[in-house]
A and B are shown apart, each in its own frame.
Chain A
Amino acid sequence: MSAFAAFRPLHGLGSSGGIAFRFSPISRRPLMTNYVRTVLKFFFLALDPTHTIMLFSKEYVGYLARQVVKRLQDNHFIQTHELEKVIERVQSSMVEELSLEDRINDEVRVILEAYSDEMRKSAANYQEMFKKVKNELVRKYKAVL
């Protein structure tokens, strides 16, 4: 499926209508709205079979951190006078742990990009290489995904 084919079904956006582009009368160059920019970015990421995004939104992780810290305090497991600071720090550590896979994936992409010429010459399968390099990095960092 081409990238453009993927655009057609979404909310009926396409050449026939929708809100996709505003055209500058001088250059006729499409000026993308922020909304469209976000949608396009998400589309291209979604088209990449090796791309993953953090399982939970940052907002939800914030909620998790708040609930955990508050309940620990309410149930007398911990005591603090800096509740907000504690929540913020716990949220950061949760985000770091939950986004570990994304960071490993990013590193795999950088590595494969550096070897792209060799991979092209040897006709290596990108997805297979991706898996192999990722497994190596997971072992290296002793990561739990």
Chain B
Amino acid sequence: MRLSREKLNKLASASTEQLASLKYVDFLEGYDDIRQEVRRLLEELLAQEERLDKAARLKIESQRRIIPEGTPEWNILYHKYYNEEVKKLGI
């Protein structure tokens, strides 16, 4: 997971707060139950995202020459391969 536990909690809280603020959303469960469910869903989805990250890194590692991480070239390739993986999700 590329997000810390604290950040994940913050993200879940922010999303739940947003949902609660919308007039056209009805909560069928308690606020805390929904926040915890959002957190669980995010955790699940972000575990999947980790695979995109790994796939992008693997593609860079499989290049003929070594491209050190953190260099501009690495960043550009990472961005490109990562987005290719994102597209596979059907976005």
Which residues of A come within 8 Å of B, CB atoms? 6, 9-10, 39, 42-43, 46-47, 55-57, 59-60, 62-65, 67-69, 71-72, 75-82, 85-86, 89-90, 92-94, 96-98, 144-145
Q: Which residues in B have their C-beta under 8 angstroms from that of A6?
A: 71-73
Which residues of B come within 8 Å of A, CB atoms? 2-4, 6-7, 9-11, 14-15, 17-19, 22, 24-29, 33-34, 37-38, 41-42, 45-46, 49, 52, 71-73, 75-76, 79, 82-83, 86, 89, 91
A68 partner, pick from B2, B25, B28, B45, beta carbons under 8 A: B45
Q: Is the beta-carbon distance between A42 and B29 smaller than 8 angstroms?
A: no
CB B13 to nearest CB in A, in angstroms, measures: 9
B25 partner, pick from A62, A75, A80, beta carbons under 8 A: A80
Q: Which residues in B have their C-beta under 8 angstroms from that of A69?
A: 19
Q: Which residues in B have their C-beta under 8 angstroms from that of A39?
A: 76
- Determine the distance from Cα of A80 to Cα of B73 in the docked complex, in whole angstroms: 45
Q: Closest A-chain residue to B23, C-beta based?
A: A82
- Determine the distance from Cα of A62 to Cα of B3 in the docked complex, in whole angstroms: 17
Q: Is the beta-carbon distance between B91 and A62 smaller than 8 angstroms?
A: yes
CB B23 to nearest CB in A, in angstroms, measures: 9
> Can you give 14 A-B contacts (C-beta < 8 A)?
A6-B71, A10-B72, A56-B49, A57-B82, A60-B52, A64-B46, A67-B45, A68-B15, A68-B41, A82-B22, A82-B25, A96-B14, A97-B14, A145-B7
Q: Is the beta-carbon distance between B17 and A144 smaller than 8 angstroms?
A: no
B10 partner, pick from A59, A65, A80, A97, beta carbons under 8 A: A97
Q: Is the beta-carbon distance between A90 and B26 smaller than 8 angstroms?
A: no
Q: Closest A-chain residue to B17, C-beta based?
A: A93
Q: Is the beta-carbon distance between A60 and B91 smaller than 8 angstroms?
A: yes
Q: Is the beta-carbon distance between B27 and A78 smaller than 8 angstroms?
A: yes
Q: Is the beta-carbon distance between B10 and A144 smaller than 8 angstroms?
A: yes
